[in-house]
């Protein structure tokens, strides 16, 4: 049995496209499940801390990044589900979004890294400071950044003359799954922001 | 009942079957040694009788009965190279057709019995096996149509008296891609004998085999004598072509009239055996006789500057990839090919050998690394798109091939004007991937009915139009139909009265160009006038069933219209194209190896190269298409991609810088998180 388990990744690597087509809807459903679970859990939590207002340019950047991730997700996933692979105008639009993503990610990181730090341990005495993001949104934020680094990094490395076809295939596989994680995390983050804004 | 007798009776069939099987295994001799068997063998004639080479009336040797004593001729004759008259092997991918060229009528029509779309079945055009062998025998290996009408399919059924009185049904008009039924036997097979498969055309190891002699013998209709003469075993005196049709080959005096074979004494051993210097895997020279391609044209660099296929330079032979068993179903080596032998042949394709994870790497094939090449290229491009043939230029190069132009036989007329006009590379979609093709535009006289054009038999067209076209000996159709002589009035119209009187050598370049332009315009008019005449003449030969005579050439179809000629578009005028894979260039010389901009640029020859229709019909404005149009690409998409490419290098730098910032932020806050957790744990 153990040898069979060890052989699984090798077998999977030669069918990565087919496996991703199955993993894609599963991943998206998993994101939806996380959101639902959190909704249920928050019903039993106490009142959320006071909301820290957003500045106008923060909202602009946030919406821009969301739009870029949505564009990248739609162009990739819709093409994969409908056509099996991304190509033609889908690929071109995806590539255009990718350029924007590479520009937006460091801006997102520099703008909100501090606001997304977790409070470890009990808070100091005194009134609670207003927070911009809920815990789930913070978690999603760091996931977006980390997976975004992998998503962009895999494709930029592929553009160099470093990797042959097996390496390119590996980069593509990592890119696909990291992209899925990034899209799901962005969706969860949007939920967290919406929940925060809608909370009394 | 005696149980012993019963037991014997029950066992007997099994014993018999085993004995039969044992006998069947030894029907054809084998040595199973990798060392070639030394062939000192007796010769046998077409009747299967042993030949005494010393006799003055010795018959020519027959490969069927000589080679066939030890090698399964019946299996071999269905091989891919010998089955031009029927289908066998994997014909799913179009290949080079036989092109019936007739300079007298402006005909160049692609023929094939394999049903390839865009080709015509010879039988459907009324071209008999006899005609086919005489026309193409120079580059046939024998067998197939060379075995006469009985080999082309079921022989015509013996008609009874009643059927014999009924008028013969006309042959079904030929349509491109159709496989026609064999027509009634025609030819002088009773005199010429069969053109059996000549094994030595491929398997002769020494250089004694002469394809030129083979070709000459076939042209003389000495089919049965060709193998003997070509191998240099003997001299053949006499020509079947000089004999009358009604000569009875079986008559007593016929032997004196038929060609005489004299075996060369030094080729025959004391025991009347002959040495055949045979090799199992043919030498490349044998393959090159039928499979040579040459570039032609003023702008083509001399032959000595061209390199041979990289596989051959690396020490491989053609047969290393294009291999077969005794059934001679030679592997063509394209992706997705299936062999009728049932053996897997995927690893003998480019991808199978150089990239396939399982089974690849045969014969030490280096693994194709393709560093930095995005994976999407492997879906959109065939291997040959980057690695095969000449590099794309402003326009494809005109080529000559052995099959179409008779390369390998000494001649004075090889050049770009030798029909059929053929070009390469033209990049077209094939199975969803871009691949280089060779292309030829059909030209023929046909009958248009119900929207379909059926070609007419070329020889019958010549008979009908000989007096109208008046193509003189030594001239050709193009020259004859566009013959123009400028009168003094014509010259005066172009150059003015004063300059028109000047001798031609004193004219300026611009003036000469003007005269050439005028000549071209008048030639086109002359062509249309002549064409109208010819179509009118051809109409008289067509049945009165509404058929309309047409001429197809150079990407256009022409028909008579109110005393003149009009050109119209028709599928029959579309070019026929087939993929090619050789010569393969080294990896460093692949398209795109130096830079992505070789393809991803607006002026990339890959897409912007212009393909102009070529043909025997004079045309001042022949149909033209860009490679992009022919491949069906979206020009807007290409433009969009090309616009994005110049910024690629800068984007790589920007991307690394951007990701560097991101990584630093993640690293910094990860460190802060670790410190905070450590402090929290310490407080606990």
How do residues A79-101 score in pLDDT, each as one tens digit? 888 888 888 899 999 999 999 99
Is residue B160 a part of any domain in this protein?
no
> Are B632 and B651 spatial neighbours (Cβ–Cβ below 8 Å)?
no
pLDDT of residue B248: 86
Give me the count of residues in chain A.
Answer: 200
Q: Classify strands B624-626 and B610-612 as parallel, antiparallel or unpaired.
A: antiparallel
Domain total in chain B: 4
**Interchain proximity B663–A149, CB inside 8 Å:** yes
Is residue B667 a part of any domain in this protein?
yes
pLDDT of residue B18: 59
pLDDT band with cut points at 50, 70 and 90 for residue B19: low
Cis peptide before A137 (omega within 30 of 0): no
Average pLDDT on B387-410 reads 95
Residues B613 and B518 in one domain: no
Of B574, B605, B633, the residue at which a domain comes to its end is B574
pLDDT of residue B317: 95
Q: Which of A10, A17, A102, A114 to mutate to test the interface with B (most CBs of B within 10 A)?
A: A102
Q: What are phi and psi of B546, to 5 degrees?
A: 90, 5
Is residue B102 a part of any domain in this protein?
no
Residue B508 forms contact with A (CB below 8 Å): no
Q: For residue B10, is pLDDT > 90?
A: no
**List of E strands, B25-87:** 39-41
Q: For residue B301, is pLDDT > 60?
A: yes
Average pLDDT on B58-69 reads 96
Inter-residue long-range contacts of A150-154, CB under 8 Å, 24+ positions, other chains counted = A150/A174, A150/A175, A150/A178, A151/A101, A151/A175, A151/A178, A151/A179, A151/A182, A152/A98, A152/A101, A152/A102, A152/A105, A152/B655, A152/B658, A152/B659, A153/B659, A154/A178
Residues 6+ apart with CB under 8 A from B559: B448, B535, B548, B549, B550, B551, B565, B566, B568
Of A29-38, B175-184, B264-273, B446-455, the one with minimum mean pLDDT is B175-184
Question: Where does A84-164 have alpha helices with state H?
Answer: 88-112, 135-158
Report ipTM (2 d.p.). 0.89
pLDDT of residue A57: 84
Is residue B13 a part of any domain in this protein?
no
Q: Is A39 exposed, middle or buried (0-12, 13-18, 19+ CB in 10 A)?
A: exposed
Residues B76 and B216 in one domain: yes
How do residues B417-437 score in pLDDT, each as one tens digit? 899 999 999 999 998 899 999
Residues B426 and B473 in one domain: no
Residues B319 and B342 in one domain: yes
How do residues B309-354 score in pLDDT, each as one tens digit? 999 999 999 999 999 999 999 999 998 898 888 888 888 999 888 9
Which one is predicted more confidently, B312 or B355? B312
Residues B141 and B263 in one domain: yes
Is residue B239 a part of any domain in this protein?
yes
Residue of A nearest to B372 (CA): A161
Average pLDDT on B123-136 reads 94
Residues B216 and B68 in one domain: yes
Of B22-36, B316-330, B365-379, the one with minimum mean pLDDT is B22-36
Residues 6+ apart with CB under 8 A from B222: B192, B229, B236, B238, B239, B240, B259
> Are B591 and B606 spatial neighbours (Cβ–Cβ below 8 Å)?
yes
Identify which of B389, B391, B335, B433 has the alpha carbon closest to the alpha carbon of residue B631: B433
pLDDT of residue B486: 84
DSSP state of B121: -
How do residues B548-603 score in pLDDT, each as one tens digit? 999 999 999 999 988 789 999 999 999 999 999 999 999 999 999 998 999 999 89
Is residue B162 a part of any domain in this protein?
no
How do residues A166-195 score in pLDDT, each as one tens digit? 899 999 999 999 999 999 999 999 998 887
Residues of chain B contacting residue A153, judged by C-beta atoms under 8 Å apart: 659
Q: Per the structure block, which two tokens stand in for B525? A: 């008019």
A156 vs B655, B669, B672: nearest CB: B655
Residues B251 and B133 in one domain: yes
Which one is predicted more confidently, B161 or A143? A143
CA angle at residue A132 from A128 to A135, to 5 degrees?
A: 85
Radius of gyration of chain B (CA): 32
Is residue B4 a part of any domain in this protein?
no
Q: What Å distances lie between residue A142 and A136, A185, A186, B129, CA to CA?
A: 10, 9, 10, 78
Identify which of A157, A69, A64 has the alpha carbon closest to the alpha carbon of residue A107: A64
Residues of chain A contacting residue B673, judged by C-beta atoms under 8 Å apart: 117-118, 120
Residues 6+ apart with CB under 8 A from B244: none
Average pLDDT on A146-153 reads 96
Per-position DSSP letters for B212-247, written without gaps between them: HHHHHHHHTT-GGGHHHHHHTSEEEE--GGGS-TT-
Q: What Å distances lie between residue B678 and A139, B120, B670, B682, CA to CA?
A: 20, 83, 12, 6
Shortest distance between the Cα of A147 and any Cα of chain B, in A, equals 11
How far is C-alpha A74 from the geometric centre of its chain's CA atoms?
A: 13
Of B147-161, B273-287, B521-535, the one with minimum mean pLDDT is B147-161
Residue B500: which H helix or E strand, with range?
A: helix B497-500
Task: Supply the mean pLDDT for chain A.
Answer: 85
Cα(A115)–Cα(A133) distance, rounded to whole angstroms?
7
Interface list for A 148-187 with B (CB within 8 A): 148-149, 152-153, 156, 158-165, 168-169, 172
Output the furthest CA–CA distance in chain B (Å, rounded): 124
Residues of chain B contacting residue A87, judged by C-beta atoms under 8 Å apart: 376, 379-380
Shortest distance between the Cα of B359 and any Cα of chain A, in A, equals 15
> Are B394 and B605 spatial neighbours (Cβ–Cβ below 8 Å)?
yes
Q: Per the structure block, which two tokens stand in for B212? A: 């030129």
Shortest distance between the Cα of B429 and any Cα of chain A, in A, equals 15
Residues B237 and B260 in one domain: yes
Average pLDDT on B642-671 reads 93
Domain with B621 in it? 288-442+587-641
pLDDT of residue B620: 86
Q: What Å distances lie between residue B110 and A164, B167, B260, B571, B631, CA to CA?
A: 42, 31, 37, 14, 22
Residue of A nearest to B674 (CA): A120
Identify which of B419, B441, B432, B376 has the alpha carbon closest to the alpha carbon of residue B575: B441
Residues B271 and B334 in one domain: no
Cα(B249)–Cα(B255) distance, rounded to whole angstroms?
7
pLDDT of residue B172: 45
Residue A119 forms contact with B (CB below 8 Å): no
Task: For chain B, give the percent of residues with pLDDT over 90.
Answer: 62
Of A40-54, B44-58, B509-523, B542-556, the one with minimum mean pLDDT is A40-54
pLDDT band with cut points at 50, 70 and 90 for residue B17: low
> Are B277 and B204 spatial neighbours (Cβ–Cβ below 8 Å)?
yes
pLDDT band with cut points at 50, 70 and 90 for residue B242: very high
Residues 6+ apart with CB under 8 A from B31: B37
Q: What are phi and psi of A179, to 5 degrees?
A: -65, -40
pLDDT band with cut points at 50, 70 and 90 for residue B280: very high
Identify which of B297, B534, B520 has the alpha carbon closest to the alpha carbon of residue B393: B297
Residues B524 and B658 in one domain: no
Residue B102's beta-bridge partner residues? B107
pLDDT of residue A142: 95
Q: For residue B394, is pLDDT > 60?
A: yes
Residues of chain B contacting residue A91, judged by C-beta atoms under 8 Å apart: 376
| Strongest mean pLDDT among A43-52, A78-87, B4-13 | A78-87
pLDDT of residue B118: 94
Of A31-45, B83-97, B343-357, B513-527, the one with minimum mean pLDDT is B83-97
Of B531, B551, B574, the residue at which a domain comes to its end is B574
pLDDT of residue A194: 84
Q: For residue B515, is pLDDT > 60?
A: yes
Of B574, B596, B629, the residue at which a domain comes to its end is B574
Is residue B108 a part of any domain in this protein?
no
Residues B211 and B244 in one domain: yes
Of A98-107, A139-148, B53-62, B149-158, the one with minimum mean pLDDT is B149-158
Residue A10 forms contact with B (CB below 8 Å): no
Residues 6+ apart with CB under 8 A from B574: B118, B555
**Interchain proximity B372–A159, CB inside 8 Å:** yes
Residues B542 and B629 in one domain: no
């Amino acid at each position: 049995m153990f040898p069979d388990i060890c052989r699984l990744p090798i077998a999977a690597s030669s069918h990565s496209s087919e496996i991703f087509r199955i993993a894609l809807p599963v991943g998206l459903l998993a994101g939806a499940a996380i959101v639902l679970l959190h909704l249920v859990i928050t019903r039993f939590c106490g009142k959320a801390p006071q909301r820290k207002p957003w500045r106008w340019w923060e909202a602009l950047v946030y919406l821009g990044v969301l739009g870029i991730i949505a564009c990248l997700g739609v162009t990739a996933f819709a093409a994969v589900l409908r056509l099996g692979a991304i190509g033609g105008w889908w690929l071109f639009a995806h590539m255009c979004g990718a350029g924007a993503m590479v520009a937006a990610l460091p801006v997102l990181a520099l703008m909100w890294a501090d606001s997304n730090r977790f409070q470890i341990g009990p808070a100091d005495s005194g009134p609670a400071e207003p927070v911009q993001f809920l815990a789930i949104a913070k978690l999603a934020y760091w996931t977006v950044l980390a997976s975004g680094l992998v998503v962009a990094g895999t494709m930029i490395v592929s553009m160099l003359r470093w990797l042959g076809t097996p390496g390119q295939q590996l980069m593509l596989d990592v890119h696909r799954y990291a992209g899925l994680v990034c899209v799901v995390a962005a969706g969860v983050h949007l939920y967290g922001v919406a929940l925060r804004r809608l909370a009394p | 009942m005696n149980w012993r007798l019963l037991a014997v009776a029950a066992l007997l069939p099994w014993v018999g079957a085993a004995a039969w099987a044992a006998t069947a295994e030894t029907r054809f001799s084998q040595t199973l040694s990798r060392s070639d068997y030394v062939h000192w063998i007796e010769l046998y004639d077409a009747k299967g009788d042993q030949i005494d080479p010393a006799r003055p009336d010795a018959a020519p040797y027959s490969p069927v009965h000589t080679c066939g004593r030890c090698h399964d001729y019946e299996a071999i004759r269905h091989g891919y190279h010998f089955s031009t008259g029927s289908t066998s092997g994997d014909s799913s991918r179009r290949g080079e057709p036989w092109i019936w060229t007739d300079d007298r009528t402006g005909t160049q029509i692609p023929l094939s019995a394999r049903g390839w779309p865009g080709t015509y079945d010879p039988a459907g055009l009324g071209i008999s096996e006899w005609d086919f062998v005489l026309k193409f025998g120079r580059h046939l290996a024998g067998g197939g149509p060379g075995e006469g009408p009985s080999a082309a399919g079921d022989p015509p059924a013996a008609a009874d008296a009643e059927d014999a009185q009924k008028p013969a049904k006309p042959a079904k008009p030929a349509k491109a891609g159709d496989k026609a039924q064999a027509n009634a036997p025609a030819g002088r097979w009773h005199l010429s004998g069969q053109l059996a498969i000549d094994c030595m055309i491929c398997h002769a190891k020494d250089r004694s085999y002469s394809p030129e002699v083979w070709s000459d013998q076939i042209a003389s209709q000495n089919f049965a004598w060709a193998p003997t003469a070509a191998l240099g075993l003997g001299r053949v005196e006499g020509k079947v072509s000089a004999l009358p049709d009604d000569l009875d080959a079986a008559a007593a005096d016929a032997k004196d009239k038929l060609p005489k074979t004299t075996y060369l004494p030094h080729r025959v051993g004391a025991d009347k055996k002959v040495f055949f210097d045979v090799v199992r895997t043919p030498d490349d020279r044998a393959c090159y006789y039928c499979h040579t391609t040459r570039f032609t044209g003023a702008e083509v660099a001399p032959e000595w500057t061209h390199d041979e296929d990289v596989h051959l330079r690396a020490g491989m032979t053609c047969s290393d990839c294009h291999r077969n068993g005794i059934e001679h179903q030679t592997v063509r080596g394209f992706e997705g090919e299936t062999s009728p032998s049932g053996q897997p042949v995927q690893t003998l394709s480019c991808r199978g050998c150089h990239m396939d994870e399982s089974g690849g790497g045969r014969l030490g094939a280096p693994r194709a690394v393709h560093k930095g090449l995005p994976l999407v290229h492997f879906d959109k491009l065939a291997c040959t798109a980057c690695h095969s043939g000449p590099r794309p230029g402003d326009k494809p190069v005109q080529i000559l091939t052995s099959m179409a132009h008779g390369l390998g036989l000494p001649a004075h007329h090889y050049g770009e004007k030798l029909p059929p006009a053929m070009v390469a590379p033209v990049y077209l979609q094939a199975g969803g991937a871009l691949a280089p093709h060779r292309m030829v535009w059909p030209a023929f006289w046909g009958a248009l009915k119900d929207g379909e054009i059926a070609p007419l038999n070329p020889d019958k067209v010549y008979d009908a139009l000989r007096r109208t076209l008046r193509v003189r000996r030594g001239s050709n159709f193009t020259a004859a139909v566009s013959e123009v002589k400028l009168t003094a009035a014509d010259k005066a119209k172009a150059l003015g009265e004063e300059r028109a009187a000047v001798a031609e050598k004193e004219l300026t370049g611009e003036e000469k160009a003007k005269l050439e332009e005028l000549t071209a315009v008048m030639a086109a008019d002359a062509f249309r006038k002549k064409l109208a005449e010819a179509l009118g003449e051809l109409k008289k030969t067509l049945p009165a069933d509404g058929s309309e005579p047409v001429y197809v050439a150079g990407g256009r179809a022409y028909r008579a219209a109110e005393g003149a000629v009009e050109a119209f578009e028709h599928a029959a005028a579309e070019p026929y194209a087939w993929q090619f894979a050789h010569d393969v260039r080294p990896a460093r010389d692949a398209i795109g190896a130096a830079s992505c901009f070789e393809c991803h640029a607006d002026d990339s020859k890959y897409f912007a190269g212009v393909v102009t229709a070529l043909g025997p019909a004079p045309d001042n404005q022949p149909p033209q298409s860009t490679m992009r149009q022919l491949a069906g690409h979206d020009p807007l998409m290409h433009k969009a991609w090309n616009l994005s490419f110049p910024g690629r290098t800068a984007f790589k730098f920007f991307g690394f810088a951007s990701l560097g910032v991101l990584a630093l932020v993640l690293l910094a806050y990860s460190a802060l998180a670790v410190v905070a957790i450590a402090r929290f744990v310490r407080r606990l």
